[in-house]
Amino acid sequence: MGAWPSHCRIRQGSGSSGATPPGPWGPRARRGGGACLVTFYPSMAAPVGPVKFWRPGTEGPGVSISEERQSLAENSGTTVVYNPYASLSIEQQRQKLPVFKLRNHILYLIENYQTVVIVGETGCGKSTQIPQVAGRVAEERGAVLGHEVGYCIRFDDCTDQLATRIKFLTDGMLVREMMVDPLLTKYSIIMLDEAHERTLYTDIATGLLKKIQKKRGDLRLIVASATLDAEKFRDFFNQNETSDPARDTCVILTVEGRTFPVDIFYLQSPVPDYIKSTVETVVKIHQTEGDGDILAFLTGQEEVETVVSMLIEQARALARTGMKRHLRVLPMYAGLPSFEQMKVFERMSRSVRKVIVATNVAETSITISGIVYVIDCGFVKLRAYNPRTAIECLVVVPVSQASANQRAGRGGRSRSGKCYRLYTEEAFDQLPQSTVPEMQRSNLAPVILQLKALGIDNVLRFHFMSPPPAQSMVQALELLYALGGLDKDCRLTEPLGMRIAEFPLNPMFAKMLLESGNFGCSQEILSIAAMMQIQNIFVVPPNQKSQAIRVHRKFAVEEGDHLTMLNVYEAFIKHNKNSQWCQEHFLNYKGLVRAATVREQLKKLLVKFQVPKKSSEGDPDPVLRCIVSGFFANAARFHSTGAYRTIRDDHELHIHPASVLYAEKPPRWVIYNEVIQTSKYYMRDVTAVESAWLLELAPHFYQQGTVGMDRGHALATCLQPLHVFKCTFFLQFNALSVFPLVVHRVERRLPYPQNILGKHSGV
């Protein structure tokens, strides 16, 4: 990039100082917001009935509405960032949050509306203050509010059924609770936090909560969002079918922001390498701009670590030139150990500028003090499912305008900020308005399994906020049928389907675990399944890369990644879960401890389902065959071109460089856990298998075929996929679920539809 061009184009944001930016950019302004679901149960024994408590506008606690609004107007410039008032008491800190000033207003809305959509920026107090409002609701209903706060995440329930009064849990765990208690009767108020992220299970939860509200008029729902998509939530939850707004059941409350203006600068022309440009931009800001920390957005862990390494080298070079201000470079991504993540919140001395290189995990959910400068690469890594190839993978795609604005807003928390976008303004204008919801880009097998377990048989008629593609639904049904989870009538099988639904795992993992007793290797499969739920078991420090790789090879086995992970776990247990041993072997200690916890949870499920406790006693074949029994759909064969091709759809794949099989002689047949897309489609968690196992364990999915003919003689034999769509199940599924919809639509438009349908019906 070199020196900043003198012909840069600038567009001033409101409140801009008008200073010339350090680069080929041009400005504007905006703000910021992650996904977590918060549920409150202020009283499990509370009587069902309308919520009654003090009404704003009458004498009561707190300030009046007019005083509240006046106070809000007078203090609209107040800025609250990640604990900037460390010297203040907790009570003084919470009183400075924007949401605190609207406390009485929120109480009033919750009393009068079934659903309240609260729009507010990250850091305004939604997640911490509104649960305390829920506590007030419990108090006014006569419930005894305890002081205990618990949480519930996958494989970890830290709550007390008698003592806990405010409970934080993930959206996935809320959906799982509905399997036991379909009407969520022990909860009075449920809050969907960070709803704008539109995760897979948040969308399922919204559809289910809408159904529950029709049965439970006393249930109150709060939807908290950091972006201005509130109308979509309001329209979805509003049960008023008249034109009278007084009968609305959903209302929107906007919490005024407390960010400072952010000047946005664009490039004059696109850059070929945003990683290099990110490093150059950081260095130039450090050399030419005033105080303030820097936050740079990239797409994934590999990019983050690359840029961190490059910036550390640049920082050393700058220090050698005698520069007084130093750079402290820190990574931030989801798989980073928690103690490393917490470093981004540490305060630095005035002589040190903090540079945080992050994925979109820093885009919402967290508020980091001191950020003034933001660098946006313009891309994000998302999980996407292609129903045509039946491959779900991680892909790098351009960010949405909403995400870009969230990123820019990170720089306006404590003072006026600047955002440098590594793309042109024309490119920004062409970005999609918002990110495609996960529901429309995910493998829907887990979704359908959950809905079926909840008794929702006709999943096509389920009221999704954003309906998923029909082809994705059909692919998911096909997979579940192939796994034995659904029967020919599209119902959960007994007991296999119901048991698969109880596992908080991908259905393939659940099937593998349930079959492990039959293969005599449940002990090994438990360890493998637990390890596969943990990211970044192997630690590779940038300054010890070759040493770490050499140590890691000691755990590798020729069969592939699954048995390698088994070796790591068994060695960890053999050494009594010793943290020093993990450090010496460059292993993620907390990740392995977490794997041990996950294993115990999965073990309880196997005991519940009476799966025999057996070990293969070092024989790898039963373990590999058991893995195939669950992951047969993810099979690929080595092709003469040097790549792998999926058996199911003949799609080209490659072994990921992190796999132990990457540098070895390619096995002819492999199965894999997932696919990630960068420059190519890479398989992760890969294991070599025998083609005979695929035929033996999935005869309903594969058949023996031939490829290539020479004068009528087959040159080779190979596996070929069977088309499960041709089975009776799918004919009945189409007839029962799709065809009636067609009939209904046609009957509304034609006087005698039966004749036309009789001629043209393929069913």
Q: Is residue 41 part of a domain?
A: yes
Q: Are residues 282 and 401 in the same domain?
A: yes
Inform me whether the pLDDT recorded for 394 exceeds 50. yes
Inform me whether the pLDDT recorded for 77 exceeds 90. no
Q: Are residues 312 and 205 in the same domain?
A: no
**Predicted pLDDT at 158:** 74
**Token pair for residue 345?**
């919140």
421: three-class secondary structure by DSSP: strand
**Predicted pLDDT at 258:** 60
In terms of average pLDDT, the best of 144-158, 528-542, 716-730 is 528-542
**Token pair for residue 327?**
């750079």
In whole angstroms, give the CA distance from residue 502 to residue 504.
6
In whole angstroms, give the CA distance from residue 681 to residue 653.
5
**Predicted pLDDT at 76:** 33
In whole angstroms, give the CA distance from residue 49 to residue 733.
41
Q: Which of 539, 520, 540, 521 is nearest to 529 (CA)?
A: 521
Question: What is the average pLDDT across 445-467?
Answer: 87
In whole angstroms, give the CA distance from residue 677 to residue 658.
14
Inform me whether the pLDDT recorded for 235 exceeds 60. yes
Q: Which value, in Å, is the radius of gyration of the alpha carbons in the chain?
A: 28
Q: At what angle do helices 753-760 and 739-747 cross, to 10 degrees?
A: 140
**Predicted pLDDT at 715:** 34
**Predicted pLDDT at 649:** 84
Q: How would residue 122 be classed by pLDDT, with cut points 50, 70 and 90?
A: low
Inform me whether the pLDDT recorded for 107 exceeds 70. yes
Phi then psi dihedrals of residue 85, to 5 deg:
-110, 50
Report the DSSP beta bridge partners of residue 297. 358, 376
Q: At what angle do helices 65-74 and 103-112 cross, to 10 degrees?
A: 130
Q: Are residues 250 and 306 in the same domain?
A: no
**Predicted pLDDT at 490:** 86
Inform me whether the pLDDT recorded for 749 exceeds 50. no
Number of structural domains (the chain) is 3
In whole angstroms, give the CA distance from residue 417 to residue 266.
15
Inform me whether the pLDDT recorded for 89 exceeds 60. no
Q: Is residue 533 part of a domain?
A: no
Question: What is the average pLDDT across 101-129?
Answer: 79
Q: How would residue 61 be classed by pLDDT, with cut points 50, 70 and 90?
A: very low
**Predicted pLDDT at 562:** 97
Q: Tell me the residue type at 100.
A: F
Q: Is the dihedral of CA 160, 166, 168, 171 positive or negative?
A: positive
Q: In the chain, count H helices and then E strands.
A: 27, 23
Inform me whether the pLDDT recorded for 104 exceeds 60. yes
Q: Are residues 96 and 141 in the same domain?
A: yes
Which H or E run contains 167?
strand 164-169
pLDDT digits (tens, 9 = 90+) for 298-312: 999 889 999 999 999
Q: How would residue 740 be classed by pLDDT, with cut points 50, 70 and 90?
A: low
Domain boundary residue, one of 418, 439, 460 = 439
Q: Is the dihedral of CA 498, 501, 507, 513 positive or negative?
A: negative
Peptide bond into 751 cis (omega under 30): no
Q: Is residue 683 part of a domain?
A: no
Model pTM score: 0.73
299: three-class secondary structure by DSSP: coil
Q: Are residues 355 and 400 in the same domain?
A: yes
Q: Are residues 196 and 330 in the same domain?
A: no
Question: What is the average pLDDT across 649-673?
Answer: 92
**Predicted pLDDT at 86:** 47
CA distance from start to end of the chain = 62
Inform me whether the pLDDT recorded for 21 exceeds 90. no
Question: What is the average pLDDT across 510-533?
Answer: 96
Q: Are residues 248 and 273 in the same domain?
A: no
pLDDT digits (tens, 9 = 90+) for 574-596: 999 999 999 999 999 989 999 99
Domain boundary residue, one of 414, 439, 464 = 439
Site of tokens 């009393």:
111
Q: Are the CB atoms for 193 and 174 separated by under 8 Å?
A: no
pLDDT digits (tens, 9 = 90+) for 255-272: 876 668 899 999 999 999
Mean pLDDT score of the chain: 78
E strand segments, 226-284: 250-254, 262-266
Q: Is residue 697 part of a domain?
A: no
Cβ-based neighbours of 339, under 8 Å, separated by 6 or more: 590
Cβ-based neighbours of 68, under 8 Å, separated by 6 or more: 62, 101, 102, 104, 105
**Token pair for residue 444?**
């829907």
Domain with residue 49: its CATH number is 3.40.50.300
**Token pair for residue 497?**
């389907």
Q: Are residues 357 and 411 in the same domain?
A: yes
**Predicted pLDDT at 742:** 52
Domain boundary residue, one of 219, 254, 289 = 254
In whole angstroms, give the CA distance from residue 273 to residue 267.
13
Q: Are residues 248 and 286 in the same domain?
A: no
pLDDT digits (tens, 9 = 90+) for 686-695: 999 999 999 9
Q: Is residue 632 part of a domain?
A: no
In whole angstroms, give the CA distance from residue 519 to residue 521.
6
Q: Are the CB atoms for 28 and 69 separated by under 8 Å?
A: no
Q: Pick the more confident residue, 619 or 33.
A: 619
Site of tokens 């449920």:
190
Q: Are the CB atoms for 384 and 401 separated by under 8 Å?
A: no
Residues of the chain with pLDDT > 70, as a percent, come to 75
**Predicted pLDDT at 723:** 54
In whole angstroms, give the CA distance from residue 529 to residue 509.
7
**Predicted pLDDT at 594:** 92
Domain residues for the domain of 379 are 262-439
Q: Is residue 94 part of a domain?
A: yes
In whole angstroms, give the CA distance from residue 559 to residue 690.
11
Q: Are residues 397 and 289 in the same domain?
A: yes
Inform me whether the pLDDT recorded for 762 exceeds 80. no
Q: Are residues 64 and 132 in the same domain?
A: yes
**Predicted pLDDT at 159:** 74
DSSP assignment of 668-725 equals SEEEEEEEEESSSEEEEEEEE--HHHHHHH-TTTEEEEEEEEETTEEEEEEEEE--GG
Question: What is the average pLDDT across 536-549?
Answer: 87
Inform me whether the pLDDT recorded for 91 exceeds 90. no
**Token pair for residue 610?**
């009476």
Q: Is residue 553 part of a domain?
A: no
Q: Are residues 236 and 127 in the same domain?
A: yes
Angle subtended at Cα 582 by Cα 580 and Cα 584, rounded to the nearest 5 degrees: 70
